[in-house]
Structure 1
Amino acid sequence: MDSLITAAAQALATGDPLGALKRVALRDDAPALALRGIAMAQLGDFERAKLLLKRAARAFGAREAVARARCVVAEAEVALASRELGWPAKALDAARATLEAHGDRVNAAHARYLEVRRQLLLGHLDDAERHLTELDDATLPPALQAVHALASAGIALRRLRTTPARMALAHADRAARRARIPALLAEVESTRLMLDAPAARLLAEGRERPVRLHEIEALLASKTLVVDACRHGLHGPDATVALASRPVLFALARALGEAWPAEVPRDVLIARAFRTRFADETHRTRLRVEIGRLRGAVRQLADVRATKHGFVLAPRRVDKVAVLLRAVEEPHAAVLALLADGESWSSSALALALGSSQRTVQRALDALAAAGKAHALGRGRSRRWVAPPAPGSATSLLLLAPLPGD
């Protein structure tokens, strides 16, 4: 490897893409193409980066398996940065195996971290944690130690474990300072700000206030029945009930929780659960059926008692009820929360992250665009969606994780 390639690689390793391009911008040999692709990715030109990396992979000969594997890893990193979450994981896994077989531990570990970050974006916390525990970051360079700690912090944040998250962020900060890479330092600071920002709103005893993650963690550990409107479920000291797949039951539970300790009239429950302003006997009959189903679903946590004019929530073994609301009440809040990270997302990636159909996500994006809350860049398969970050809130942290205890 010649001196210019070596110098360009060192510049990229320290987060200096312009310095790398000064050395290899006019070269078309395979190593230079690969370095140019990585540099363009660091500068944010993902389309150009993908083209250069594909050219580099083709330019490397059949005997240069390690170089080709590194190109695959770089392509996966570009796909992750551009939120193309459907890229083939098998190709990345094969590249990682090749790198491990040839003794390139650093790039093999980097490939594993890419998969961890992808699983984290998709909300697959168990898979991300399993992959992360397979890695020993103590022998890795400071930059990858920082990535490891950031991934640990991300998992802890989404599991509402704020103390381990702060410890991981402190470790990430030290490693990023040793690596002297500004982008890593900025990511650590961004995550720290997210940890300290309001993540939801709490409605209790008729009063509403913003709450941060550590307050939510303390609330879920307290002797309080929590109606969680962020992840659609009920959480008590002894059990958790998920109602994300039963929207009618959750609408009833939320209405009862918001009114507690008062009763909720039947007409109000019908309007909230069935989205109609005109109730007839069929609606009242259906309400009785759904209330019966709600009683069965939440019997470990509470009873739903009939009153003269409606129903009232009667918690078991606790004397408080609180409702955890999203920081922003919006019909398409889940899509908006993912877009608020400042990155450009494809509709297919949003559908993967939300576990929804692409058509459903597309309808949500069209509605957000009509309201001026999101806009599209590009056309056809290259179309990406962006939205301005939600000021002073960490709305996405409560969207991608299961309820504690699930």
Structure 2
Amino acid sequence: MDSLVTAAARSLAMGDPLGALNRVALREDPAALALRGIAMAQLGDLPRARELLRRGARAFGAREPVARARCLVAQAEIALVSRDLAEPMRTLGTARAVLAEHGDRANAAHAGYLEARCLLLIGRLDEAGRVLDSIDADALPPVSRPGPWLVAAGIAMRRIEAGPARAALDRAVQAARRIAVPALVAEVERAVQAFEAPAARLHVRGEERLLLLGDVEAVLASGMLVVNACRNLVRAGDKVVPLGSRPVLFALVRALAQAWPGDVSREELLAQAFRAREADESHRGRLRVEIGRLRAELGPLAELHATERGFLLQPRGGATVGLLLPPHEEEHAALLALLADGEAWSSSALALALGVSARTVQRALEALAAAGKADCFGRGRACRWTARQVPGFPTSLLLPAALPVG
């Protein structure tokens, strides 16, 4: 490596992309292409950065696997920032293995951090945790060290573990303050604000109160029968009944939980679950069928009793019933929670994160755009979406997460 390339690399490590470009801007050799790509990424020109890194990786070829793997990691980081989540998942694992095999501990650790961050974004928390545990954090350059702690905090927040989340955020704050890079400090501060914001509302016996993440954790551990409208499940202690794929059943149990300890009339249940303004005998027959299905689903947790006017939810063991709601209820709330991170998302990445079809996401984005809550720019595969308005802070309970196993 010649002196100009070495000096340019040193400038990039110090956060001086213009200084790096002054040294290699007119060069077309593989190392210069890669450094120019990283410099353009730091300056925010991601399309140009992506093209330069692609050319650099192609020029290095199979004869220089370490340099090529570094280019792939840089491309994956750009894709991650651009919220094009499929590409990092294809390349990071292979690039990380090559770097580790050839003794490049720093870049291998950085690739592992990026992989864990991508897995966190799409809600694969167990896999993200395993990758994070395998990272050699001491090998990371100082500017990257807050990152793994932010990922660890994100995992804990989505698992509703307030203590580990706070501890990880404290470590991230300490690391960011030591480095004193304004953009990094701001990113950590946003994560702390999200942790300290209300995570949910709890509705019990007609009264509501806001809960922080630690309060939600305490409610879930209390033995209360919780109908969780953030994740569409019913939970009592360690027993969980997921109803995310059964929207009619969840609408019924939500209405029953909201009215508890009272009952709910058949007409109101029909309106909530089937949006039936005028019920006929076919609607009542379907309600009986769906109540039977709900009774079977909730068998380990609660009973459903018919009353003179409707139905009553009765938890087993005399537990209290609580309805857990987002702090601000919005249509397409989970989509807004993802967009609220301030990055520009592709519709395919949103579909991957939420586990739904691309067409479902596209319809929801069009509805949000019509309501003035989301904006898009670019065309075709380059189209990206951002949130225009987000009510308060998006709760981590709305972000993708694996369901707890009962």
* Partner residue in 2 for 1:183: 183
- 2:247 is equivalent to residue 247 of structure 1: yes
In the alignment, is the contact (CA less than 8 A) between 1:14 and 1:181 conserved in 2? no
Instruction: Give 1:357 shift.
Output: 0.5
- Ranges of 4+ aligned residues in structure 1 off by more than 6 Å: none
Tell me: CA distance 1:274–1:75, structure 2 relative to 1, closer, same or farther (3 Å). same
Q: Deviations over 1:254-303 (max 9, x none)?
A: 00001111110001001111122111111111111111111111122111
Q: Distance in 2 between matches of 1:26 and 1:217?
A: 56
Q: Secondary structure at the match of 2:343?
A: coil
**Which deviates the most, 103-112 or 137-146?**
137-146
* Partner residue in 1 for 2:365: 365
Q: Deviations over 1:171-221 (max 9, x none)?
A: 222223334433332222111111001222222221223322111111111
* Partner residue in 2 for 1:10: 10
Q: Secondary structure at the match of 2:145?
A: helix
- 2:78 is equivalent to residue 78 of structure 1: yes
The letter of the residue matching 1:201 is R
Aligned residues: 406
The letter of the residue matching 2:197 is A
Q: Distance in 1 between matches of 2:382 and 2:144?
A: 30
* Partner residue in 2 for 1:63: 63
Instruction: Give 1:223 shift.
Output: 2.8
Q: Distance in 1 between matches of 2:102 and 2:282?
A: 70
* Partner residue in 2 for 1:392: 392
TM-score, normalisation: structure 1: 0.94
Percentage identity across aligned positions?
Answer: 62
Tell me: CA distance 1:140–1:48, structure 2 relative to 1, closer, same or farther (3 Å). closer
* Partner residue in 2 for 1:160: 160
* Partner residue in 2 for 1:323: 323
* Partner residue in 1 for 2:224: 224
* Partner residue in 2 for 1:350: 350
Q: Secondary structure at the match of 1:198?
A: coil
Instruction: Give 1:67 shift.
Output: 1.1
In the alignment, is the contact (CA less than 8 A) between 1:15 and 1:181 conserved in 2? no
Tell me: CA distance 1:241–1:176, structure 2 relative to 1, closer, same or farther (3 Å). same
* Partner residue in 2 for 1:115: 115
TM-score, normalisation: structure 2: 0.94
Tell me: CA distance 1:22–1:173, structure 2 relative to 1, closer, same or farther (3 Å). farther
* Partner residue in 1 for 2:292: 292
* Partner residue in 2 for 1:45: 45
In structure 1, the gaps of 5 or more residues are: none
Q: Deviations over 1:92-135 (max 9, x none)?
A: 32222221221111111111111111110000001111111222
Instruction: Give 1:404 shift.
Output: 3.7
Instruction: Give 1:397 shift.
Output: 4.2
Q: Secondary structure at the match of 1:230?
A: coil
* Partner residue in 2 for 1:133: 133
RMSD value, Cα: 1.9
Tell me: CA distance 1:304–1:110, structure 2 relative to 1, closer, same or farther (3 Å). same
